[in-house]
Amino acid sequence: MRVHFCTTHTLVEAADSTRLRLALNTADYVTLDGVPLVWIGRLRGHRAERVCGPDLMPILLEQSRAHGYRHFFYGGAPGVAERLAERMTERYPGLAVAGTFCPPFRPLTIEEDRAAVDLINDSGADFVWVGLGSPRQELWLADHRDRLHAPVLLAVGAAFDYLGGVRPRAPALMQRTGTEWLFRLAAEPRRLGKRYTVVNSRFVWLVLKEAVHNAADGRP
């Protein structure tokens, strides 16, 4: 099972990437990770709710203890996966951590990639949590699905930083009102300023463009 949590950033990237669209279209589950996406879904008559990695991960980790499921954490900056595993085992005593690995930010060589896959498979993991950032994590999971033995693969992005205690998450009110991106922008203006400006503008344009096309075709 391959699970992705789709943000507005992911959708904007997918608009320009056939490979990313294919990765999302072939996933087992793609959830709405963003209040604007939920709003649009509801406007179109769907019972849409936000489901994101930082919220779902603690639930699954806690519930998995009773079944003895093993978890592998793949991604994050150096040391983040290990810190995440430590914090989660402290929060959920008895949690089975199969292993952690933080790949370099550069592309892996064939040998390095094979070694990483072997490490995950040899760990006996039931869940593989991937925090490489979007769209890198979506593409990685799509490329490696057939090579990984774990039955559940989840691309959870910033969950590694939030739950690992590396970065603070926006207050609950901002999460509910679709303004979480403002909190992140204020915290990391240099890294996220250009991205959010471009992504948000492009997202609005894509929504309006689709609305015009749907209206022309007589669709809601």
The pLDDT, as a whole number, for residue 214 is 64
What pLDDT was estimated at residue 149?
98
CA neighbor of 134 nearest in space, from 160, 108, 109 = 160
Q: Show the DSSP H helices in the chain as ranges.
A: 8-15, 18-25, 35-43, 53-64, 80-91, 110-122, 136-144, 159-163, 172-176, 180-187, 189-216
What is the second-level CATH architecture of the domain 2-177? 3-Layer(aba) Sandwich (3.40)
Do 27 and 139 form a contact (C-beta atoms < 8 A)? no
pLDDT for residue 63: 97
Selection from 9, 38, 37, 6 nearest residue 198 by Cα? 9
Quick one: pLDDT at residue 219?
A: 61
Cβ(220)–Cβ(214) below 8 Å: yes
Contact 97, 85 (CB under 8 A): yes
What Å distances lie between residue 10 and 15, 23, 111, 140, 203, CA to CA?
Answer: 9, 11, 29, 14, 10
pTM recorded for the entire structure: 0.92
CA-nearest of 151, 90, 103 to 124 is 151
Tell me 31's DSSP state: E
Query: Residues 206, 12: contact at Cβ < 8 Å?
Result: yes
- Kindly list the averaged pLDDT for each block of 10 residues, start to end, along the chain of length 220: 94 94 96 91 90 96 97 96 98 98 94 98 98 95 97 96 94 88 86 80 82 63
Model pLDDT, residue 51: 95
Q: What is the pLDDT of residue 152?
A: 98
- Of 17, 87, 97, 79, give the one whose Cα is nearest residue 54: 87
Q: What is the model's pLDDT at position 220?
A: 60
Largest CA distance in the chain: 57
- Tell me what pLDDT residue 215 has: 59
Q: Are 98 and 71 in contact (CB under 8 A)?
A: yes
